[in-house]
Amino acid sequence: MAKRKTPKVESLRPETITKEELQKLQNIVKVINEAQLQIGMIEAQKHAILHDISKAQQLINNVREELIEKYGEHDFSITDGSIKYNENGNDKTDTKDNSR
């Protein structure tokens, strides 16, 4: 077999991207990672706030039950404290303590 007269040509395909391209990709990935971290922190805050809302709603229900026990099942204004009595005469006031 005859010897090759021309040297073997190395592949012209590059093995790595340029340093600038690598830096650009790394910067973009860093931005994405930071955004995902912020989303996670916001979701944790959201969870805590939703838990606080749930607690506040339970407190409102407790106060409402106390008011119903004392004044009967009517509408209570949260702006001025007035009581809107039911017109149908269905007063479920506790008769034990009727000293209004």
Task: Output the pLDDT for position 14.
Answer: 86
Q: What are phi and psi of 33, to 5 degrees?
A: -60, -45
Contact by Cβ (8 Å): 21, 14: no
Contacts of 93 (CB under 8 A, 6+ apart): 71, 72
- The C-alpha R_g of the chain, in whole angstroms, comes to 37
Task: Output the pLDDT for position 16.
Answer: 94
Residues listed for the chain: 100
pLDDT tens for each residue of the chain, 100 residues long? 667 777 776 778 889 999 999 999 999 999 999 999 999 999 999 999 999 999 999 999 999 999 999 999 999 999 999 999 887 655 555 444 444 4
What's 78's DSSP letter?
T
pLDDT (tens digit per residue) in 57-71 = 999 999 999 999 999
Task: Output the pLDDT for position 95.
Answer: 46
* Dihedral over Cα of 65, 71, 72, 76: its sign: negative
